[in-house]
Amino acid sequence: MKVECYVLGPLANNVYLVVDEETQDAAILDPGIESEPALDHIREGGYNLRYVINTHGHIDHVYCDAFFMAETGASLLIHADDLPVLEAADEQAAWLGCEPPVRPVPTRLLQDGETIEIGKLSFTVLHTPGHTPGGICLLGDGVLFSGDTLFAGSIGRTDLPGGDYGVLLRSLRERILTLPDETVVCPGHGQRTTIGRERQMNPFLVGI
């Protein structure tokens, strides 16, 4: 598995390109505002972009969905419970002072426990609500793409519509902290970390 990370947009989003190096099939995770330059890397690498995957529906993670779908024919995947968050994109754009994005219809609505195949790579969908109702993490090959559920030293905010602090803590306790310490965490913002490091160092996880 090859993972490329691009820090893009006004909120410094981590946009991930996940590639199966054997088949050259790929997926882009959370292509938010100003993510278009990642297309150059996809073309230069000769990758076949199969999926656009949103860990949740906030505008800084979905803004360029339509762009990558139009340019590559990729399918759009998001959890079913975040459709209302996607539908509030115009309101979110007003908060950030940017133009509303084009809102494509998701190709596939994800559910907890299902598998996404990227070439010969396999990822399990972990439904981790709390930051948003349909927030997910993707787990595969010892790596967790955690979206805005878990960060290095922090967790997702819960003061936006649909957020719930108690629900987020339950997601972290039951779905994330059950993973092996050596699991690498690739968050939606900030630096990479591991489950073990966050178990020991993250102040939000102490005692939950």
Per-residue pLDDT tens digits for 51-78 = 999 999 999 999 999 999 999 999 999 9
DSSP 8-class letter at 92:
H
The fraction of the chain above a pLDDT of 90, given in percent, is 96
Region 154-163 average pLDDT: 96
Q: φ and ψ at 205, to 5 degrees?
A: -100, -5
- Per-residue pLDDT, averaged over 140-167, amounts to 97
Q: Nearest CA to 146 among 191, 200, 104?
A: 191
CB atoms within 10 A of CB 43: 12
Pairing of strands 143-147, 136-140: antiparallel
Mean pLDDT of 80-103: 92
Tell me: pLDDT of 180 over 90.
yes
Q: Does the pLDDT at position 205 exceed 90?
A: yes
Q: What is the pLDDT of residue 43?
A: 98
Output the six-digit token pair for 94: 């007003």
Note the pLDDT tens digit of each residue in 1-54.
Answer: 999 999 999 999 999 999 999 999 999 999 999 999 999 999 999 999 999 999
Q: Which fold has domain 2-201?
A: Metallo-beta-lactamase; Chain A (3.60.15)
How is the beta sheet containing 143-147 ordered, strand by strand? 115-118, 121-127, 136-140, 143-147, 184-187, 193-194
**DSSP code at position 176:** I
What is the pLDDT at residue 139? Answer: 98
The Cα–Cα gap between 178 and 187 comes to: 17
Q: How far apart, in whole angstroms, are the C-alpha atoms of residue 90 and residue 102?
A: 9
- C-alpha 134/C-alpha 77 separation (Å) is 12
The Cα 178–Cα 5 span in angstroms is: 25
pLDDT per residue over 120-130, tens digit each?
Answer: 999 999 999 99
SS3 content of the chain, % helix, strand, coil (to 5): 25, 30, 40
Express as a percent the part of the chain with pLDDT over 70. Answer: 100
Q: What is the pLDDT of residue 95?
A: 86
Copy the structure tokens of residue 153.
């030293």
How many Å is the maximal CA-CA distance in the chain? 47
- SS3 assignment, position 35: coil
Q: Model confidence at 96, in pLDDT bands (50, 70, 90)?
A: confident
